[in-house]
C-alpha cells in the first residue's frame, strides 16, 4: 500500500523530511478496524512529532492523526462496525499513523462519518473536535445539560483548529464566547463561528477584556502558549474558575497565582484514553457520533478551509509548512490517492 513516512526527523523544507513509500497492508485483529483512508488532515502534533532531532528510524514511520474513510474489514472482536461503513477518527499516537492507504484503529475511538460531509470535510474534524469536547466538558466541567447563560469562556488561539471547534461547542452550550484573533480574516472567521467578542492577542488582554465588559471569565481554554499566558490567565480567571491548556509548558509556572481565587488548572491531551486504554475509551467514539449528528442537523460545521490533492509526500510537506507558519485558519486536509 502507498503511505507517506519518514526515517529521519528533518526540517519540512527538506524533501527527505516526508517521503512516499510502499508498505505491507496490515491485518485487523481484536477490536481493530482496517480502514481504507480517503482523506487526512494535519494538526500541530504532526509537525511536533516530525520536528528535527538526531533520531533515525530503522523502518519508515507513518505519521498522521486524523482520517476519514471506509471500513475495509474488521477484527474478530468488533461489534459496532462492518465493512462498507464510512467513518472518521483521530487515531492513537502509540500506533502507526493515518497517512497510509489502509490503517488500523480500535473501534472504540471511531465515529460514523457525518453523512452530509465529504471525506475531506470530515477528516478536518476528529482530533480538534475530541480536544475541544474534552476541554470543555471533561476538564472545564461545563454542564452540557444546564443553562450556562451568564457564564463566559476566553479561547486563546480562537482561529486554529481546536479553537474553531471549541468556539462552536461553547456557543452551542450557551456560553458567552470571547476568542483571540489578530488579522481581519481570522477575526471574521471566529465571528462566523459564533464568537460574541474578539480580542487581539498582540495587545494586552486585560484592558480589552474590561472594555467589552468581561474583566474576568468563568473559563479559559488555552490552545496557544501556556508559558506566555500564565500570568494573564491568573488575572483574568474568576474566583473558582477553571483553566485548561493543551500546550506543554517549557518553564515552571507559578501555580500559586491561582490559590487566592481557588481557581483550577488542568491539562487536556486527547490521546490519553487510547494511550492508557482507559475504561472510558469508548467515550471518544460516542462523542464523534454525537457530533456527526449535530453536523448533519446543521448545528455544527466543518472547520476545513483548504484541501490539497492527492495524498502524497509533496502535499504532506506543504500542509506541514502551512501548520508551522502559525497563520493557518481552521484546518487543511489532503484527499485522495493517485
Instruction: Tell which CATH classification among 3.40.1190.20, 3.40.50.720, 3.40.605.10, 3.30.410.10 matches the domain 129-267.
Output: 3.40.50.720
The pTM of the full predicted model, rounded to 2 decimals, is: 0.96
Q: What is the CATH number of domain 2-125+274-335?
A: 3.90.180.10
| Residue 59 φ/ψ, nearest 5 degrees | -135, 155
User: Can you give the pLDDT at residue 145?
Assistant: 73
User: Can you give the pLDDT at residue 146?
Assistant: 73
Burial category of 264 from C-beta neighbours within 10 Å (exposed 0-12, middle 13-18, buried 19 and up): middle
User: Can you give the pLDDT at residue 190?
Assistant: 96
User: Can you give the pLDDT at residue 149?
Assistant: 77
Ranges of each domain in the chain: 2-125+274-335, 129-267
Are 7 and 18 contacting, i.e. CB atoms less than 8 angstroms apart?
A: no
Measure the CA–CA gap between 209 and 222, rounded to whole angstroms. 16
Contacts of 48 (CB under 8 A, 6+ apart): none
| Residue 32 φ/ψ, nearest 5 degrees | -80, 145
Low-confidence ranges of the chain (pLDDT < 50): none
Amino acid at each position: 500500500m502507498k503511505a507517506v513516512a519518514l526515517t529521519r526527523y528533518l526540517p519540512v523544507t527538506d524533501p527527505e523530511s516526508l517521503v512516499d513509500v510502499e508498505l505491507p497492508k496490515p491485518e485487523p485483529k481484536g477490536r481493530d478496524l482496517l480502514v481504507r483512508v480517503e482523506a487526512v488532515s494535519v494538526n500541530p502534533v504532526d509537525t511536533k512529532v516530525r520536528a528535527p532531532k538526531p533520531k533515525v528510524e530503522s523502518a519508515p514511520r507513518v505519521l498522521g492523526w486524523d482520517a476519514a474513510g471506509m471500513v475495509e474489514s474488521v477484527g474478530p472482536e468488533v461489534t459496532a462496525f462492518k465493512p462498507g461503513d464510512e467513518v472518521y477518527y483521530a487515531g492513537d499516537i502509540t500506533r502507526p499513523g493515518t497517512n497510509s492507504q489502509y490503517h488500523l484503529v480500535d473501534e472504540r475511538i471511531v465515529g460514523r462519518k457525518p453523512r452530509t460531509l465529504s471525506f475531506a470535510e470530515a477528516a478536518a474534524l476528529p482530533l480538534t473536535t475530541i480536544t475541544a469536547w474534552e476541554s470543555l466538558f471533561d476538564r472545564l466541567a461545563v454542564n452540557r445539560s444546564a443553562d450556562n447563560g451568564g457564564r463566559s469562556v476566553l479561547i486563546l488561539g480562537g482561529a486554529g483548529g481546536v479553537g474553531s471547534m471549541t468556539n462552536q461547542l461553547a456557543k452551542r452550550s450557551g456560553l458567552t464566547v470571547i476568542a483571540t484573533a489578530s488579522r481581519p480574516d481570522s477575526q471574521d472567521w471566529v465571528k462566523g463561528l459564533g464568537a460574541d467578542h474578539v480580542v487581539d492577542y498582540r495587545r494586552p488582554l486585560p484592558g480589552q477584556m474590561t472594555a467589552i465588559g468581561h474583566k474576568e471569565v468563568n473559563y479559559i481554554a488555552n490552545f496557544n502558549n501556556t508559558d506566555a499566558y500564565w500570568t494573564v490567565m491568573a488575572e483574568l480567571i474568576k474566583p473558582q474558575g477553571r483553566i485548561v491548556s493543551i500546550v506543554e509548558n517549557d518553564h515552571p509556572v507559578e501555580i500559586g497565582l491561582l490559590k487566592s481565587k481557588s481557581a483550577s488548572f488542568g491539562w487536556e491531551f486527547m490521546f490519553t484514553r487510547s494511550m492508557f486504554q482507559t475504561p472510558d475509551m469508548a467515550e471518544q467514539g460516542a462523542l464523534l457520533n454525537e457530533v456527526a449528528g449535530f453536523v448533519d442537523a446543521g448545528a455544527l460545521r466543518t472547520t476545513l478551509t483548504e484541501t490539497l490533492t492527492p495524498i502524497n509526500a509533496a502535499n504532506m510537506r506543504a500542509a506541514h509548512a502551512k501548520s508551522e507558519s502559525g497563520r493557518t485558519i481552521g484546518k487543511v486536509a489532503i484527499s485522495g490517492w493517485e
